[in-house]
């Protein structure tokens, strides 16, 4: 059964359930894993729901794609009463693909907020939502995917397993939700070169142009 969904902005049941459920997983990651993810405690659930709802509003324009794994509720391990249920499923984790408008880099996009509920870690949720995100990226010719992740977080070890390479560290990048004071270092991570048709054409043209440059100089 397919559990990974790309948020469809035309489906009202999704635009209602996704932001609230995403906010709860987001809060879980900040409070229980000290994930550096935009907000610091004390957290306002309403504000975080609004944050995710605002991203969902940017799906139609192509700026965002939101990919989420919703798993059927397991009666032998039911969620707590306050968990958002959508079509008899609970949210296991999600990720967002963010395309920023750029004439010089229409192929660049950012992977944001890969967050998996602590109830569902190490069961392949991140791998599956990232695979779907890459399908979405390929579909829209976004072949240079960038993201950043905190040094010392579990995620640091996950991205290399998914083919991403580390391109550098930014010291003292942001405040940790551990105590709202400690400055954490951040790693910049990159996945480049999905073999989309556009990428192949542009890469070949680039090789030809460089060769021509060399021939003209000599």
Shortest distance, position 171 Cβ to ligand COA, whole Å = 17
The one among 5, 7, 23, 35 contacting ligand COA by CB under 6 A: 35
Beta bridge partners of 165: 190
Per-residue contact flags (x/-) with ligand COA for residues 62 to 101, judged by CB under 6 A: -------------------------------x--------
172 φ/ψ sector (left φ>0, alpha ψ -120 to 50, else beta): left
Residue 4 binds to ligand COA (criterion: CB under 6 A): no
Angle between helix 12-33 and 45-56 (nearest 10): 130
Question: Site for ligand COA (CB under 6 A): which residue of 66, 91, 109, 126?
Answer: 126
**One residue of 116, 137, 187, 191 binding ligand COA per CB under 6 A:** 116
Query: How far is 135 from 121, CA to CA, in rounded Å?
Result: 22
**Residues 162, 164, 166: CA angle, nearest 5 degrees:** 140
Phi, psi (rounded to 5 degrees) for 116: -120, 135
Tokens at residue 216, please?
């003209």
From the list 15-23, 78-86, 118-126, 192-200, the region that binds ligand COA by CB under 6 A is: 118-126
154 binds ligand COA (CB under 6 A): yes
Residues that bind ligand COA (CB under 6 A): 29, 33, 35, 93, 114-116, 121-127, 149, 153-155, 157-158, 161
């Amino acid at each position: 059964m397919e559990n990974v969904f790309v948020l469809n902005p035309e489906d009202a049941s999704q635009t209602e359930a996704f932001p609230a459920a995403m906010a709860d997983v987001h809060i879980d990651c900040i409070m229980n894993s000290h994930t550096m993810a935009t907000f610091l405690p004390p957290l306002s659930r309403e504000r975080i729901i609004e944050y995710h709802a605002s991203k969902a509003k940017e799906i139609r324009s192509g700026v965002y794609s939101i990919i989420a794994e919703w798993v059927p509720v397991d009666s032998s391990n039911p969620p707590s009463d306050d968990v958002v249920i959508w079509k008899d499923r609970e949210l296991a984790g999600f990720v967002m693909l963010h395309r920023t408008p750029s004439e010089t880099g229409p192929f660049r996009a950012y992977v944001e907020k890969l967050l998996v509920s602590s109830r569902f870690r190490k069961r392949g949720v991140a791998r599956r939502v990232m695979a779907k995100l890459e399908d979405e990226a390929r579909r829209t010719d976004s072949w240079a995917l960038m993201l950043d992740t905190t040094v010392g977080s579990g995620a640091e070890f996950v991205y290399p397993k998914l083919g991403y390479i580390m391109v550098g560290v930014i010291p003292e990048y942001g405040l940790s939700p551990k105590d709202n004071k400690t400055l954490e270092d951040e790693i910049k991570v990159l996945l480049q070169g999905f073999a989309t048709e556009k990428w192949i054409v542009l890469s070949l043209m680039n090789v030809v142009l460089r060769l021509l440059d060399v021939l003209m100089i000599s």
